[in-house]
């Protein structure tokens, strides 16, 4: 894959990511998209739950396996290393699109406070959660995270520089503010359906397991004592709760 083709590929993947990210907001929030988490006709409950669990499991497997260093070492023997991150993002988008397309609604309500002040507050939290997600990517290195830095450096025949380990912005409060933002966005809803609750429960479990037991092992191996100190001093997801975990 030539440099120009790799660059065009990476930019195209980033455009796919932006579209998928925006659709994710509409999907979870039941706004402005043709198919959301609660739209459609409910089928048999057991079958719907199983289909949704399979979809979420496929996303979890893709997202975790492709992020591991051992997989990357093998994967980059098959594709250009500068395109590795973009390909990971593309596969993540594909897994999310599968969820959007085939998610089975379970619209029975667990709670509905949409006409109350609590509903307004939850809606504000929902949008705030997505803002935290996006802002947190820029507090580290947004363009490295989504593969643009790598493909641009490759285009210029340079090596992409890696940002050092720094505590900045929300990363001073929690170790994983991107995940904190997702958790807020997934749970803060004026109308919680059974399907939405299933989505929130499974994604929360996955985030906790993947981050604390997989991602942080990789970070400790890469960064060493500095990250161990950071983990002792800064909680994982909630400010003031869970230092050292």
Q: Read off the pTM.
A: 0.94
Whether residue 107 lies inside any domain: the answer is: yes
pLDDT digits (tens, 9 = 90+) for 42-60: 999 999 999 999 999 999 9
| Confidence band for 159, pLDDT divided at 50, 70 and 90 | confident
**pLDDT of 245:** 58
Residue 158 has pLDDT above 90, yes or no: no
Whether residue 49 lies inside any domain: the answer is: yes
Whether residue 245 lies inside any domain: the answer is: no
Whether residue 238 lies inside any domain: the answer is: no
Joined together, the tokens standing for residue 226 give 């500095």
Of 29, 187, 43, the closest CA to residue 103 belongs to 43
pLDDT digits (tens, 9 = 90+) for 108-146: 999 999 999 999 999 999 999 999 999 999 999 899 999
**pLDDT of 1:** 64
Which residues, 6 or more positions from 59, have their beta carbon under 8 angstroms from its beta carbon?
92, 95, 96, 98, 99
Hey, CA dihedral for 194, 197, 199, 201, is it positive or negative? negative
Of 132, 136, 122, 141, the closest CA to residue 181 belongs to 132
pLDDT digits (tens, 9 = 90+) for 166-211: 788 999 999 999 999 999 999 999 999 999 999 999 999 999 999 9
**pLDDT of 244:** 56
Distances (CA, A) of 19 to 56, 147, 166, 186: 20, 16, 30, 19
Identify the burial level of 5 via C-beta atoms within 10 angstroms of its C-beta, where 0-12 means exposed, 13-18 middle and 19 or more buried. Answer: exposed
**pLDDT of 178:** 97
| Confidence band for 229, pLDDT divided at 50, 70 and 90 | very high
C-alpha count within 13 angstroms, C-beta hemisphere, residue 86: 24
**pLDDT of 138:** 94
Whether residue 201 lies inside any domain: the answer is: yes
**pLDDT of 243:** 61
Looking at residue 171, what DSSP letter applies?
G
For the chain, give the percent of residues with pLDDT over 90. 82
Q: Which domain holds residue 166?
A: 3-233
How many separate domains does the chain show? 1
Whether residue 241 lies inside any domain: the answer is: no
Question: What is d(CA 205, CA 185) in angstroms, rounded to the nearest whole number?
Answer: 15
**pLDDT of 172:** 94
Cβ–Cβ under 8 Å, residues 86 and 155? no
Distances (CA, A) of 243 to 47, 139, 203, 210: 40, 21, 22, 17
pLDDT digits (tens, 9 = 90+) for 65-116: 999 989 999 999 988 899 999 999 999 999 999 999 999 999 999 999 999 9
Instruction: Please give the mean pLDDT across all residues of the chain.
Output: 93
Of 122, 138, 234, the closest CA to residue 178 belongs to 138
**Overall residue count recorded for the chain in this entry:** 245
| Confidence band for 242, pLDDT divided at 50, 70 and 90 | low
**pLDDT of 166:** 76
Residue 160 has pLDDT above 90, yes or no: no
**pLDDT of 240:** 81
Residue 39 has pLDDT above 70, yes or no: yes
Residue 217 has pLDDT above 80, yes or no: yes
Question: What is d(CA 239, CA 96) in angstroms, rounded to the nearest whole number?
Answer: 29
């Amino acid at each position: 894959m030539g440099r120009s083709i790799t660059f065009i590929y990476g930019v195209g993947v980033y455009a796919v990511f932006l579209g998928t990210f925006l659709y994710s907001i509409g999907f979870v929030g039941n706004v402005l998209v043709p198919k959301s988490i609660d739209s459609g006709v409910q089928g048999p409950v057991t079958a719907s739950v199983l289909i949704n669990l399979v979809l979420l499991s496929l996303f979890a497997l893709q997202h975790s396996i492709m992020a591991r260093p051992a997989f990357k070492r093998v994967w980059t023997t098959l594709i250009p290393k500068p395109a590795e991150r973009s390909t990971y993002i593309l596969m993540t988008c594909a897994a999310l699109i599968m969820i959007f397309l085939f998610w089975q609604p379970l619209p029975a309500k667990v709670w509905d406070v949409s006409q109350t002040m609590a509903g307004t507050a939850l809606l504000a939290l929902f949008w705030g959660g997505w803002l935290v997600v996006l802002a947190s990517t820029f507090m580290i290195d947004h363009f490295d995270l989504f593969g643009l830095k790598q493909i641009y450096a490759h285009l210029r025949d340079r090596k992409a520089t890696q940002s050092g380990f720094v505590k900045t912005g929300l990363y001073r409060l929690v170790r994983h503010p991107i995940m904190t933002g997702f958790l807020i966005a997934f749970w803060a809803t004026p109308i919680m359906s059974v399907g939405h609750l299933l989505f929130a429960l499974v994604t929360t479990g996955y985030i906790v397991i993947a981050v604390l037991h997989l991602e942080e092992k990789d970070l400790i191996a890469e960064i060493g004592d500095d990250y161990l100190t950071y983990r002792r001093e800064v909680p994982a997801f909630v400010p003031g709760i869970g230092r050292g975990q």
